[in-house]
Structure 1
Amino acid sequence: MDFDYDLFVIGGGSGGVRAARLTAMGGQKVALAEESRMGGTCVIRGCVPKKLMVYASEYPEAIEMAKQYGWDASSGSFDWSAFQSHLGSELTRLEGAYEGNAEKAGVTIYKQRARLADPHTVELADGTTKTAKHILIATGGRPVRPDMPGAEHGIVSDDLFDMPKLPGRMLIVGAGYIGCEFACIFNGLGVDVSMYIRKAQILRGFDDEARGHVADCMQQRGVTLHTGCAPTAIEKRGDKIWVKGSNGHEEEVDTLLWAIGRKPNTDGLGLEDLGVKFSRGGAIEVDEYGQTAVPSIYALGDVIGRVELTPVAIREAVAFHETVFKGNPTKMDYDLIPSATFTQPELASCGLTEEQAEEQEPSLVYATAFRPMQTAFAGGAERVLFKMIVSKETDKVLGAHIVGPSAAEMIQFVAVAMKMGATKADFDRTCAVHPSMAEEMVTMKDPVRVLA
């Protein structure tokens, strides 16, 4: 059978675009459909604009610190509209780069919604159909809202970058990395921020000691945390939103942000009718090579719900290309993936948490917390945390966790060592860079805890 394309990708995010480009550059005929903006969640409404907001929110503290270092400095006021305008221009530039690079590689782009009519046929929103030997679903995910009266008065993370003005007061419901990052961002921009947290602590799934350290720092910086609390009633009162929590707390805010999770974008794709299977959470089920229950259909990225990180989607795309188009069956390696949460301070991790290690094998925990030189000189009280979990039997480093400035930059290289199988002895025999925060990763000599 002759097909219009060797590969048709649905979704123009980082994973979908990488798979399309690699395949087209290999001489195959490739098309991609994207109903929104090229670049997907990460570039348009996620990692990139969020990180730029993180930078913006850090300047007031940096200016205050500059005073302690002898500079005559003042922060003045923050111009949200000016920042928004610059941000919009940058995202448009990046969107153009994604589209231009894909087209340069030979990818045909359809700027419209697509669905599957059969295992080899894609139907576009304008009614036209295209056939393909292989179809790749890379539609990502989206933030969810709760099913409760008044939920419509809140916004989700996708809406944050288009707010007409900064709120005076903001309530964030949810304490995963998205909720915590934006709590720190808006707190840094001068917004009065509070959070409703259903559990007893923020950042579920991260190392308990590390996330507790972040929570303490957030509160010291002025973010109010209501733990064990979920909204029970929401009303629009004039230009304010009134919210009552399950702990009896009530407040009126200018903006209510739902940060309670994300779900895969699979609605209306026609996958169920073709026999594609889904997990309980709605993610597309795939095998080790990204193949669904329908042999011609593959999926990757957030829509498969494995590790929802942009670099992971990109590597899954490379594995897909190697497997399907280069005859080199390649499985995605999900072991020891480093990650960073851009709270203030940052939390970066790789490998096992202390709690996971305790369940797995006898281990040693090394940790230190201290005021870094730059902060201490300026009279700041905030401490950084360095933590390492080591196998008692093999001396292999099982986990590393850093809380503090530039934690993400440091964990990237710690992860390289861990991926190579580094032991605690390897770290110990590495000479320190002094004076630096990172030297603590090679100077922690005695364990603070033994996990039996």
Structure 2
Amino acid sequence: MSHLTHPPAASHDLVVIGGGSGGLAAAKAAARLGASVVMIERAELGGTCVNRGCTPKKLMWSAAAQQQSLREMAKVGLIDRPHLDFAALRRRSDAKIDRLNRHFEEELQQAGVRLLRATAEIGEAGQVHAGGDVFQPGKLLLATGARPRALDIPGGDLAVTSDDVFHWTDLPGRLLIIGGGYIGCEFASIFAALGSEVQLMTDSDRLLEQFHAPAIDCVQAGLEKQGMTIEFGCKPVQIDFNGTMFKVSFDDGSIQYADRVIAAIGRVPNTDNMGPGLQGIAHANTGALAIDEHFQTSIPGIYAIGDVADRLPLTPVATRDGACFAAQHFGAGADQVNLDLVPQSAYTIPPVAQVGSMSEGQDDGEVIANLANDALDDGTAANSFVARAICDGRLSGIALVNHAAPEMIAPFAALLASGASADDLAAVTGVHPSFGEETVGP
């Protein structure tokens, strides 16, 4: 008599590996459409965005932006020198995230999704092994996200990543950040505003390369007004620690010292160590999984969304793609969201936001003094910026730098989608005095 080494496979319409923004959206939507759904997640629900990304970063940024404003008011004698309890900020942020984690679990239960806390492995026959169970999915959806890229130099493991920063309970006196992308620039802004002495080093020739260059010139000027030092065209080659201070050596011969070092050199999609069932799966040039318009990978029956897939690695895209996947495979169908109409923003101080193409019909934009804040300006307040691109008489792109930029950019995306003309923008006025009035009118 033979003995089974594994329990018999349970059949489900959909097995989702990964409980981040995309996986949650897909699982809930598919279950509400009548599919039997299992979600497998080995860590906290909410993925990077909620636990190690957008949410804790935005909470830190909000406090930092307030602290920057208070510091400016103190310098012109309107208030006493402000004090921030960073440990208290960390506790409030952790409590917010804990509430979100529990909320996501409740939503899965209400939708009828089975949640399994385990590490998943995909077998050669397409079966999914997790927590002692075996599943035979009708469709398998990978929503495993991405992780910070490691700094591959001697002593590189001495640098922390964004995952670690959100556990800090105190502020570093001197902070060195390696990398000039989203994460590096956002942390540089946040910690400079909170009171750290910040130095940012990047091997690129400018910051935030995916944004309109004149807009980033304005951002950089604002960062430097905050007191931080920015160096370009240099790569770290070694990190040492003497028990008190970090020493970072660069390829140009320079040496920097800091209390803490953050490596912010990009992210790597989590496509590895998932079992033999993914052997030979096709990757895009980004390192993420190549997918078609129905989110299918090169292996039939296996699909991918979120940061593990070759789409924009943004939470709103993952969420929309999750709902779209469910509608395509278990509902009446849907089209993938148009990535050309997806706004992007970096939460520097002030933040930059952009949507559409700035490559055709662009102007260099205009740097704008913040008239509404002049009375509080101690000389270090950053300016704002606006640039519009007009192609064939239609708005084709816009770039904004202002505290309100992330809130304003979505309506401009709607204007792009509706085919708004230059005359449409010229016909309206904004509220005075405000940054908004600079974005419309002739």
The interval holding the TM-score normalised by the smaller chain is over 0.9
In the alignment, structure 1 residue 435 sits paired with structure 2 residue 394: no
Q: Give the whole-Å Cα distance in 2 for the aligned partners of 1:179 and 1:332.
A: 28
Following superposition, the deviation at residue 83 of structure 1 comes to 1.5
In the alignment, structure 1 residue 397 sits paired with structure 2 residue 388: no
- Structure 1, residues 16-44: CA drift from partner, whole Å, max 9, x if none? 00000011112211110111100000000
Number of the residue aligned with 2:141:
136
Number of the residue aligned with 1:408:
406
2:369 to 355, 368, 371: 371
Following superposition, the deviation at residue 329 of structure 1 comes to 5.0
1:148–1:407 distance in 2 versus 1, CA, 3 Å: same
In the alignment, structure 1 residue 101 sits paired with structure 2 residue 99: no
Q: Which amino acid aligns with 1:386?
A: V
1:68–1:236 distance in 2 versus 1, CA, 3 Å: closer
- The answer to which of 254-263 and 114-123 deviates more is 114-123
Number of residue pairs the alignment of both structures matches: 432
Matches within 5 A, 1:305-384: 305-328=310-333, 330-353=335-358, 356-357=359-360, 363-365=361-363, 367-381=365-379, 382-384=382-384
Number of the residue aligned with 1:158:
163
Q: Which amino acid aligns with 1:439?
A: E
The TM-score with structure 1 as length reference comes to 0.91
In the alignment, structure 1 residue 31 sits paired with structure 2 residue 65: no
CA RMSD in angstroms comes to 1.9
Number of the residue aligned with 1:22:
29
Number of the residue aligned with 1:360:
none
Structure 1 stretches of 4+ with a deviation exceeding 3 A read 64-74, 271-275
Q: Which amino acid aligns with 2:150?
A: R
1:364–1:291 distance in 2 versus 1, CA, 3 Å: closer
In the alignment, structure 1 residue 249 sits paired with structure 2 residue 254: yes
Contact 1:288 1:332 in 2 (8 A): no
Following superposition, the deviation at residue 163 of structure 1 comes to 2.2
Following superposition, the deviation at residue 120 of structure 1 comes to 4.1
Number of the residue aligned with 2:13:
6
In the alignment, structure 1 residue 122 sits paired with structure 2 residue 128: yes
1:49–1:245 distance in 2 versus 1, CA, 3 Å: same
Contact 2:122 2:278 in 1 (8 A): no
Q: Give the whole-Å Cα distance in 2 for the aligned partners of 1:166 and 1:281.
A: 34
Q: Give the whole-Å Cα distance in 2 for the aligned partners of 1:119 and 1:352.
A: 44
Q: Give the whole-Å Cα distance in 2 for the aligned partners of 1:175 and 1:271.
A: 36
Q: Give the whole-Å Cα distance in 2 for the aligned partners of 1:245 and 1:275.
A: 38
In the alignment, structure 1 residue 113 sits paired with structure 2 residue 132: no
Long gaps (5+) in structure 2? 1-8
In the alignment, structure 1 residue 88 sits paired with structure 2 residue 86: no
Q: Secondary structure at the match of 2:440?
A: helix
- The answer to which of 253-262 and 323-332 deviates more is 323-332
Q: Give the whole-Å Cα distance in 2 for the aligned partners of 1:273 and 1:345.
A: 43
Following superposition, the deviation at residue 315 of structure 1 comes to 1.0
Q: Which amino acid aligns with 1:25?
A: R
Q: Secondary structure at the match of 1:251?
A: strand
Q: Give the whole-Å Cα distance in 1 for the aligned partners of 2:196 and 2:430.
A: 40
Q: Secondary structure at the match of 1:442?
A: coil
Q: Give the whole-Å Cα distance in 2 for the aligned partners of 1:364 and 1:34.
A: 45
- The answer to which of 332-341 and 302-311 deviates more is 332-341
Contact 2:75 2:378 in 1 (8 A): no
Q: Give the whole-Å Cα distance in 2 for the aligned partners of 1:338 and 1:422.
A: 16
Following superposition, the deviation at residue 344 of structure 1 comes to 0.6
Q: Which amino acid aligns with 1:116?
A: I
Q: Secondary structure at the match of 2:436?
A: coil
1:166–1:64 distance in 2 versus 1, CA, 3 Å: closer
Number of the residue aligned with 2:64:
57
Q: Which structure would you say has the larger RCO, counting Cα contacts within 8 Å and 6 or more residues apart?
A: 2
Q: Give the whole-Å Cα distance in 2 for the aligned partners of 1:273 and 1:195.
A: 38
The TM-score with structure 2 as length reference comes to 0.93
Long gaps (5+) in structure 1? 358-362, 446-452
Q: Which amino acid aligns with 1:243?
A: V
Q: Give the whole-Å Cα distance in 2 for the aligned partners of 1:380 and 1:390.
A: 36
- Structure 1, residues 267-305: CA drift from partner, whole Å, max 9, x if none? 111266454222244311111110112221110010013
Contact 1:195 1:226 in 2 (8 A): yes
Q: Which amino acid aligns with 1:34?
A: E
Identity %: 34
Contact 1:289 1:329 in 2 (8 A): no
Q: Give the whole-Å Cα distance in 2 for the aligned partners of 1:119 and 1:374.
A: 64
1:139–1:293 distance in 2 versus 1, CA, 3 Å: same
Q: Which amino acid aligns with 1:57?
A: A
Q: Which amino acid aligns with 2:340?
A: D
Q: Give the whole-Å Cα distance in 2 for the aligned partners of 1:69 and 1:429.
A: 39
1:164–1:74 distance in 2 versus 1, CA, 3 Å: closer
1:270–1:144 distance in 2 versus 1, CA, 3 Å: same
Contact 2:340 2:355 in 1 (8 A): no
Following superposition, the deviation at residue 47 of structure 1 comes to 0.1
Q: Give the whole-Å Cα distance in 1 for the aligned partners of 2:76 and 2:424.
A: 37
